[in-house]
Structure 1
Amino acid sequence: MAIFNSQSNAPKKDQPSFAADTPASVPPREAPAVADFTPTQVTPPRAAPPEPVAKESLIAADLTIEGKIEGSGHVRIAGKFKGDVNVQGNLRIEEGARLNGGVKARQVVVAGELDGNIQSAEKVELLASSVLTGDVKAGSMTVAAGSKIRGHVECGWDASEASARRGGKAEAVEQRERATAS
């Protein structure tokens, strides 16, 4: 049988062995660093906010209205309207509809009747059933076979080019008149 010295520095059964072996001058060890490999959520780049959707106003087929339309949305006329239409959106005149007045819009589609001038438009489209009585100033124009138009048309001209061209013609006419008068 072994004899144990109770005075020895050997650790007792209930006492952990590292407590007796650690000198007081050695600082305690820090826990090792742990790498975090959890994927982080990457926020996607923000897209530009969507452009607001322009709403469309409708003058129904059984309505007759007199007045003035101004706004930023689209207008569709299926009835009868007497007055000017000035919108930043599009104007559509349905088949069987009638508009008596001036028009300023981004795009104009005519399937019915328009009695008035289209003063400013990027694009004008005359469908086969359309009847237009008035002048047109537009960036481009499409005329379908069967449509009717009576008036002066200026297409493809920038506003400054068109006025300069008209001014040049007026000057030429004045010079001819002066020459024939003398």
Structure 2
Amino acid sequence: MSIFPQSSARKEATPSFAREDGPAGREPTPAIADFQPADVPFQPARTPAQVPQPKESVIASDLTIEGKISGSGHIRIAGRFKGDVNVEGDLTIDGGARLNGGVRAKRVNVAGELEGNIDSAERVELQPSAVLIGDVKAGTLIVSSGSRIRGHVECGWDEASTPAAQGKGDRAKDSKDKTGLDVVP
């Protein structure tokens, strides 16, 4: 017994996928894409939060350079550098790196060795492997356990809070006339 009725008609062995309303054997035409470059290159819209960040220049660990560095970007020293570094950005001295020279930077992070003075930095951070031989003038100094320092340290002082400025008292405040110029008594 069979559930489905048996038909005596024989079915085709392979189904036909050709459209019955079009000519037989004709294949559809593929779409053609235009890959010509646009006249104006694509530039994503910039939002106020997307401010370009300064680039970081690196002195690789297998380099030894002598000279002077100055500029507005960030500097990372992984090798050896002899000379002064004066940047408006940050200076990072990696572990195993060595810098012999004076430093002026916004922020200084030392994990290697620095032999020279750090002047006018907002923030200086000494990692556990840091060795600093020289004087430090900074707004904030962070010293990790294990780091070594030999030199004079001034931190947390700005020009308005120095003892010399505080000793003048109200005379320093009153010594300005209405034009904003300093008047020397």
Could you state the TM-score of these two structures normalised by the residue count of structure 1? 0.63
Structure 1 runs (4+) greater than 4 angstroms displaced: none
Is 1:121 the counterpart of 2:126? The answer is no
Equivalent position of 1:135 in the other structure = 135
Letter paired with 2:90 = N
1:61 aligns with 2:61: yes
Task: Supply the distance in 1 between the matched residues of 2:163 and 2:139 (Cα, whole angstroms).
Answer: 14
Aligned residues: 123
Structure with the bigger percentage of helix: 1
Question: For each residue in 1:64-92, what CA deviation from the matched residue of structure 2 results, as whole angstroms up to 9, or x when unmatched?
Answer: 00000001100000000000001111000
> Post-superposition shift, 1:49?
6.8
Q: Percent identity?
A: 66
Matched, 1:152 2:146: no
- Call closer, same or farther: CA 1:159–1:64 in 2, change over 3 Å: farther
Provide the residue aligned with 1:41 in structure 2.
none
Alignment of 1:67-78 (within 5 A): 67-78=67-78
- The match for 2:90 is 90
Name the amino acid aligned to 2:74.
H
Superposed, 1:1-182 pairs within 5 Å as: 48=48, 50-162=50-162, 164=164
Larger radius of gyration: 1
Following superposition, the deviation at residue 163 of structure 1 comes to 7.2
Give me the whole-angstrom Cα distance separating, in 1, the residues matched to 2:67 and 2:160: 31
Structure 1: tracts of 5 or more residues without a match = 1-45, 169-182
Let me know the Cα RMSD of the aligned residues: 2.1
* Structure 2 residue runs without a partner (length 5+): 1-45, 169-185
